[in-house]
Each structure stands twice: as C-alpha cells, then as structure tokens.
Structure 1
Amino acid sequence: MLQPQITRWSPVAYTPTSCHIVDRSVVHSPRPKHAVLVPVARNCCMALSMEARHLIVQYARSRRDICSLARVCKGFQIVAERSLYNTLSLSGTDTTMSICNVLAGQPRVAAYVENLTIVVRDDETTSEEGASSNPPEEYWRSVGAGLRSVHRLLHLTVQLDFIGHSAHSWILDGCQFKLRTFHCDLAWNIHLVDFLNDQDELEDLYILDFPYPVDADTQVTPAQPQRPLSPPPPPVRRVLSPIPRIGSMPKLSILECPTTDAVSVLVPRRPITRVKTCFATSDIEKKRRELTTLFVNLRLSTRPLLALDLGDSSYNADCSLNFLRHCVSSNRTMDSVRYLGTLALPVDGRERLRFYGLLRGLPHIECLEVEVTDWNPPPTSFAALRAITNELRIYCHTVNKVVFVYDFDRVVITVSDDGAGGCVLGEENGGVADVIWREA
C-alpha cells in the first residue's frame, strides 16, 4: 500500500549578504527577522542521481539559492559545497580573514577550492587620518593559513589595489598546491622565488614587481667624507636579487612582467610562447640596447614565440620602426609571431609605407596593436578605423584583427569572411584587447 508523501515546512533564511558553510550547516550573517516557508519533501533528493543534483545546483540563480538548497535538503550538501567553494573571490579585511579561517579549520571544505582571488583594495586599508595603510599582520597570517589549507588550488590571484608595503610573499611559505595560473602583486623576494621553484605545473604567470638587476661584483663607494685625512669607508657590496633555479616552471608558456629585465631571468630554457612586458627606460639609446638584449633572451625560449606585447612610457614612430626592424631581423625568433604590439602607427604617409613594408617581413602576423594618440584629428570613429584597417590589409593581408589605442581607450576591429570572397569589419569591446595576446 502506497504511503502518502509527507511534506514539512522548513524555514529558509534569505539574505543578500555572503554566506559560508561550516561543517554541515550554512551560516548566514546577519540573520533576517522574517523567514520564508518553503515546502520540502522529507526524502526530496534521495531518488535523485548525483548527476541530477549537479544539474540542479548548476542552474541555481545565485549563490544564495545554493546555500538555501543545502540548508533545506541535506542530500545537496556536498554538491552545494563543491559549487560554493570551487571559486572564491575575497575582498574586505574581515570577510577575507573569516573565509580563510574557515578554510584553515575545515580541510574537507578547503579541498573543494580550485580558483581563489584575494583582493586588497585601497578603501579597505585607509587609516583614520585618511592615508593608505597596510592590513594588520593578523590579516596576512589568516591568508597564509588559508593558502596552506587549499591543497588542490589551480588558479591563484593576489591583487593589491593600494599603494603600500607589498613584501608579504611569506604567505606562500609551506603551500603545497600546484598552480596552473598565478597573478601575483606581491614583492619579488626569496619567499616568492622559493614558491615558484616548486610550481611544476605553472603555465601562466603575471608578476607586478621585479627588481632591477645589480651585478654581484659591482662595488659602490659612498661619497668621500669632509676630512681628507681620514680613511675612506669600505665599499658596499650589493647582493643579487634571487632568481628561480634552472629547470623550475618547466611548463611556463605565458609571461606578463613589468620590465624586460624579468624576461632575461624567466624566458631562457622555458617554453615561453607569449610575452607581455615594458621598457625599463625612457632614454632612446638605452631602449636600443634594451631591445637587442630582449630579442637575445627571447631567442633562448625552447618554443617559437607567438605573441609579443612591448609597452612604453611614450610611443613614437621612430621607436616603433626600430622595434619592427629588430622583429624582422630576428626571423628565427619572430617568424611564427601572430600578435605584435604596441606600435605607434606613423602619421606621415611615407613613414607609414615603411611601417607596412617592415610588417610584410612577418608572414604569420594576424593581430596588431597600434597607438594613434598623436593623430590629429584622432581616428576615433568606426569609419576612420575601418579605413586604416583596410589600408593595412592591402600590405598585410594576413592581419584579421587590429587593436587601436587612443589615450587609455581601446577599440578592436575584427575582419571576418562574408562567405562571398569578401570581408566584414566589426567593432568589439576594448576589454577584449586585454586577452587577445594570450590567445594568439
């Protein structure tokens, strides 16, 4: 005889604030005054397969709904935890400390974390006087404890959106996870280098800090004292900055770094295929020497280069033409390049023809990033950008995408086949430009 299904009414606390799972309960803070009654069958998910539970959680409208589902139906607890903790984006001192303490105290929950972003913002570290200040040491200790608990972490971002002390790389000490992508705003020091030495699966690395190289044999003698008869002080010996050991990061293929000095340390003997970096100087003669050194180091990669984005404090046609000459003369390094930037597009017609002529020496180029800030009037309309793209494609027909940079704005013009032997030009959001070089 069939028994009627018993339905009970369970109170579910709906709140727009964040929530976290501790052991077998979902904790909400703050708890609202009124609860919503939701009918829940006693054995609501006993008959559901694990695949069905995953689908239900996947199509939940928000993280709040997932929390509510886990609260009213224990059969969804594990699936909900995996969904909630798989990707964490933490900001705010109190919130970050709270979640990191949960991860440190709940290894079962920490095992679900694969993607972690920790953001320290300027408005969260402002002192009473209005000046920016660093988070307390207790904050960094909590973050370090949380990182040491997430053994299955694959993608880590540590973003410092404030001006202050960044030498907290020690939070990476003792971490056992093997990353695939790492976005790091922490200071370059022995703690960070030791961590990178253990990253055998790392494929994509972004570093914000890198010290200028100083030769270990360089002797720096301080200014002579006022009394000529006194003996001069002993010379000060500068110490080399730590560098990763040879053979570390064997899978690293994408590198974004602040200066070309980092390229000389991180590219040789590694399968680097995509590089984004900047000139370390604004002096023209020093730039020429820096370019030569850059291409020497790029040549030492064990894989062909596919994308190169070289930033500058100021763009001009002469430097861009010199950059292109280095690219063309380094055919062994640049023969397979599909993305190249950032180049100042010459305003003068003859210089622009020389520019196009040099580009023809890159047979596989597909995307260019060009600066047009110096143009007057600026080619900011779609019609003007389309005309420049068509002109460029007369000489470089392999180009199917152009990123135009005007001041701090970017516009992407894409060329696609119309199916009738012609092409259609479309405009894309400038935010796409930030990832094009990674996908070239």
Structure 2
Amino acid sequence: MELSREVYSLIVRHVASRADLLSLCLVSKRYRQEAQRALFNTLHLRGYPRILDVCRLLSATPRLSRLVDALSLFLADERPCSSDSGSDDESESDSEDGCTPAGPPHGFWPAVAAALRGLDKLRFLSVYFEQAAGSAQAWVLAGSRFRLRTFHCEFDWDAHLVAFLRTQPDLVDLYLADYRKHIALDVPRARADVPPPPRALPQLAVLECTFGEAAAALVPGRPLARVKTCFSRSGADAKRGELRELLARLRASRRALCALDLADEAYTEDFSLELLAAMGSAVARFAELRYLGTLVLPVDGRKVRCPAPVPCLAS
C-alpha cells in the first residue's frame, strides 16, 4: 500500500541512526527518497579522505547535492600518532611516529570546488582548519550559486573570499578567522559624482572575528546586533584608541546593538571600568545592549562612579 509523503517523512524523522537510514534506502523508492533527504540535509565531514569521497559523490549525483542544506568541513589529517618514539629531537620524533601532517591528497581542493558549485540549496557552511597553514583556499567558492545565511569561515581573507562575500546578500551570521584591511569588502565609488555601489552583506546581523579592525570595517551601514571580537593591541593607550574607534563604528550600525563581547589578552579592573564609562557616555545609542561579555570588576569594596548609567546593566 502506497503511503503519503508526509507519512514516509514522519517515519524517517524517528530514525536516529545513519546506518538505519542507509538500510531504509533499500526498502522502497519512497523510503529511499525520504531517507536520502535526511542523510544529506546536514553533512558534518571530518578528514581529507572522507571529505574527498563525499564531494566526489555529490559532484557525480546532482540529485543528492540539491538535498544539502548545511555543510561542515573539518580539514584535518586522520592518521593516528604513536607515542612510542624515544627520540629527544622533536622534529625527528615527529617524522618517526607519523605525526607530521600529510595535508590534503592530490585533487582534493578541485573536488571540493566542484561539489560546492552544485550545492544550489546550501544555506549553512562551516569550514574549519586544524592547521593554519594551507587555509588560502577561498578560490573554491568561485562559481557557487548558493546564498548562505550562516558562514563560519576560516579561509584566509583574500580577493577570492571578498569576491564571494559580495555575492551573499542573505548572509546573517558570519565568523571570520582572518582579516586584512588592505583588501576592502565594499567596492569604492568610481567617481565622486556617482552614488556609491550597494554595500556587501546588507543583512549581516551577527559578526564574530578575531580582529578588531574587521569589526570596525564591517559594522557601519549594516544591521549588526551582536558583535564578538578582541583587541588587537596590548598597550593601554593603543587599546584606548582602538576602543574609541570601535565604539564610533558601532554607533554607525543600522540596528541597535544587543550584545558586545570584547576579548582582551590582559583583563584588568581599570580598563573594564574605562570600557563601562565609555559605553555609558553613549547611553542613547547602546540603550538596547543586554550583554557585554567578560569584565573584571573591583571586588574589594571600592565605590566607583561612572559618568552615565551603563545600559547593559540597567535592565
């Protein structure tokens, strides 16, 4: 007896094991359709061999590639390391016990690029690198037709990555592991007498980046509501200047800021109080702020007056 698609889908949703889903593909054509949808909707792939095999499958089977909504790539070597080596020389030990990273196999990145070009329905993409070296691979995004909503990006910030981000008008949530201020995301106007081109990433609302310069560059003119970044400088005076610039840029967001997390390599009470005072002096702009990350506050009973109420602590 033929069941409705809703019934097949309901049955498949109650199958938790991927092995059982594979078995279900052999039952009937209708079960195979729904089971494959569940198998390929969200893919978490770790290790070069696994990623290569799946990318080749997706490239060869467009019907399956159209099912992928979320993709996570964990780029790491999967070879086990032995701890039996007794060599005192670290580099010699690495070569003997097999811990030297092998890197991606031949043809790996072209296979990834070919697979990405077929993922028309992809909305969530995460790329993680175990080793920082070899992350200048954003060229694989060229020619892709998907429009992301979330992008966890550990590619190097280069012309290829910037060109891709300019094609993502629906992107809401972005993580950046790298940034280079000499490669601008927004295209400058050609002449002073013509209007500037539209900003890239017009819907960006959540930004996490390891460089304060990236946040300062990407916030103005975009509806950023949540920003997580860190100070790039360690000296107190340099850090104060960085804070002033960042707060000025945050005030240029098209949306009221709800959460701000500023990491610091040396959390101190004095600078935390300066940060609170700076936020309080712009209380009108940060009235919707509800989260201010990690702060080191005085605990020895001293009373400290801020020049204005701190909005994130007022609610």
Name the TM tier (shorter chain): 0.7 to 0.9
1:312 aligns to 2:260 (yes or no): no
Q: Distance in 2 between matches of 1:253 and 1:173?
A: 24
- The aligned residue for residue 194 of structure 2 is none
| Match among 19, 28, 35 for residue 80 of structure 1 | 35
* Alignment size in residue pairs: 291
1:260 aligns to 2:212 (yes or no): yes
Q: Distance in 2 between matches of 1:177 and 1:64?
A: 29
1:244 aligns to 2:199 (yes or no): no
Q: Distance in 1 between matches of 2:78 and 2:24?
A: 34
Shift of 1:74: 2.4
Output aligned runs, 1:264-343, within 5 Å: 264-343=216-295
Task: Name the structure with the higher strand share.
Answer: 1
- The aligned residue for residue 13 of structure 2 is 58
Aligned-residue RMSD, C-alpha = 2.0
- Relative distance call for 1:122 and 1:316 in structure 2 (3 A) is farther
Q: Distance in 2 between matches of 1:339 and 1:358?
A: 18
Give the gaps of 5 or more residues in structure 2: 82-93, 188-197
- The aligned residue for residue 195 of structure 2 is none
* Conserved 8 A contact 1:184-1:206: yes
Q: Distance in 2 between matches of 1:54 and 1:301?
A: 42
Output aligned runs, 1:41-440, within 5 Å: 46-121=1-76, 123=78, 130-136=99-105, 138-211=107-180, 213=181, 240-245=182-187, 246-350=198-302, 353-354=303-304, 358=306, 361-363=309-311, 365=313, 398=315
* Conserved 8 A contact 2:276-2:306: yes
* Conserved 8 A contact 1:125-1:133: no
Q: Distance in 2 between matches of 1:125 and 1:162?
A: 16
Residue type of the alignment partner of 1:177: F
Question: What TM-score does the superposition give when structure 2 sets the normalisation length?
Answer: 0.87
Shift of 1:67: 1.0
Q: Distance in 1 between matches of 2:12 and 2:71?
A: 20
Which fold has the larger relative contact order, with Cα–Cα distance below 8 Å and residues 6 or more apart in sequence?
2
Identity of aligned residues (%): 40
- Relative distance call for 1:162 and 1:288 in structure 2 (3 A) is same
Shift of 1:130: 2.9
- Relative distance call for 1:152 and 1:322 in structure 2 (3 A) is same
Shift of 1:134: 3.2
* Conserved 8 A contact 2:48-2:78: no
* Conserved 8 A contact 1:150-1:177: yes
- Relative distance call for 1:164 and 1:364 in structure 2 (3 A) is closer
Deviation readout 1:136-155 (Å, 9 max, x if unpaired) = 45111111111111000000
Shift of 1:122: 5.2
* Conserved 8 A contact 2:281-2:308: no
* Conserved 8 A contact 1:324-1:359: no
Q: Distance in 2 between matches of 1:324 and 1:150?
A: 45
Q: Distance in 2 between matches of 1:125 and 1:277?
A: 34
Q: Distance in 1 between matches of 2:307 and 2:28?
A: 62
Q: Distance in 2 between matches of 1:125 and 1:268?
A: 46
Q: Distance in 1 between matches of 2:137 and 2:171?
A: 21
- Relative distance call for 1:112 and 1:359 in structure 2 (3 A) is farther
Deviation readout 1:282-329 (Å, 9 max, x if unpaired) = 111100000000011101111101100000111010110111111111
- Relative distance call for 1:49 and 1:343 in structure 2 (3 A) is same
